[in-house]
Amino acid sequence: DKNYPILIDQEGGRVNRLKKFFDAELLTGEFFGKLYLNDKKKFYNYYKIFIKQTSSLLRSIGANINTLPVLDVRSKGSSSIIGDRSFSNDPKIVSKIGNICINSFHSNKIGTVIKHIPGHGLANVDSHKLTPRVNKNLKYLIKNDFSTFRKKPSLFAMTAHIIYTNVDKVNTATHSKKIIQLIRNRIKFENIIMSDDISMKSLKNSININTLRAFSAGCDLVLHCNGNYKEMNEVAINSPLINKFIIKKTSQFYKIIS
């Protein structure tokens, strides 16, 4: 099935899975964000080439979804896990470049995954290892970190394994019905929500429980990335059957990549 969805994390910069084919280590989100501010004409030319070359490489290996753009707002004093992967510390710039990124990849027949919804920039620790807690009030978050994801045209969004204490004191976004409802009702994201890697250490329970809780909270898909075959089976066993919503959205994805 040539339309089978195959994802890859090919951001450029530090997250550069195909660096032996395409050396994009200098082409970080921060690089393009600064270029956008300093020389918009050069930005559009460079970014167009970057996305075209990336898309061509992905299609050549059979991948059709890139987990990009990173729409997290860079925040001083936060964990470096986002850092230069972010376009800017200005939400408006992040949002604008995010739209350009999504539409450009779509025009090159590659799907996109906005991340890490509703916003990872304020995380005080690396969610691969520990559970970040964000204590900003909801008014601030809606205006700043959450705003970059609002009404984005991407067909996929990846959740943040972060606890936003003023919305849900206990659960990360991936496991929080309140946060998923906020993503639907306030951020107005209407397409497929997938978890970040369900095996990350921010989530404290077993793979079985973490998978079930993600679906129960409202995630449509659960992402598993560490290659552990036993865990992969556990995720599959605990995943519901594909529903009408997924089928409808997948048909829209096929139109983009065909």
Q: How confident is the model at residue 3 (pLDDT cuts 50, 70, 90)?
A: confident
Tokens read off for 210:
């973490």
pTM value > 0.75: yes
Q: Determine the Cα–Cα distance for residues 69 and 29; give it in Å rounded to an integer.
A: 9
Rounded distance between C-alpha atoms, residue 201 and residue 107, angstroms: 36
Residue 1 has pLDDT above 90, yes or no: no
In sequence order, what E strands does the chain have? 7-8, 10-12, 15-16, 65-66, 111-117, 133-134, 156-159, 163-164, 192-194
Helix (H) / strand (E) containing 177: helix 177-185
Is residue 15 classed as helix, strand or coil in its secondary structure? Answer: strand
Cα(198)–Cα(174) distance, integer angstroms: 9
Closest to 116 measured CA to CA, from 73, 79, 158 = 158
Task: Tell me the pLDDT tens digit for each residue of 106-160.
Answer: 999 999 999 999 999 999 999 999 999 999 999 999 999 999 999 999 999 999 9
3-state secondary structure (DSSP) of residue 5: coil
Identify the band that residue 242 occupies on the pLDDT scale cut at 50, 70 and 90.
confident
Percent of the chain with pLDDT over 70: 100
Give the model's pLDDT for residue 90: 98
Q: What is the largest CA-CA distance in the chain?
A: 51
pLDDT of residue 22: 86
Residue 2 binned pLDDT confidence (cut-offs 50, 70, 90): confident
User: CA 212 to CA 188: how far, in whole Å?
Assistant: 24
pLDDT tens, residue by residue, 12-70: 999 999 999 888 999 999 999 999 999 999 999 999 999 999 999 999 999 999 999 99
What string of DSSP letters covers 31-59?
Answer: HHHHHHHH-HHHHHHHHHHHHHHHHHHHH
Residue 204, by phi and psi: left (phi above 0), alpha (psi -120 to 50) or beta? alpha
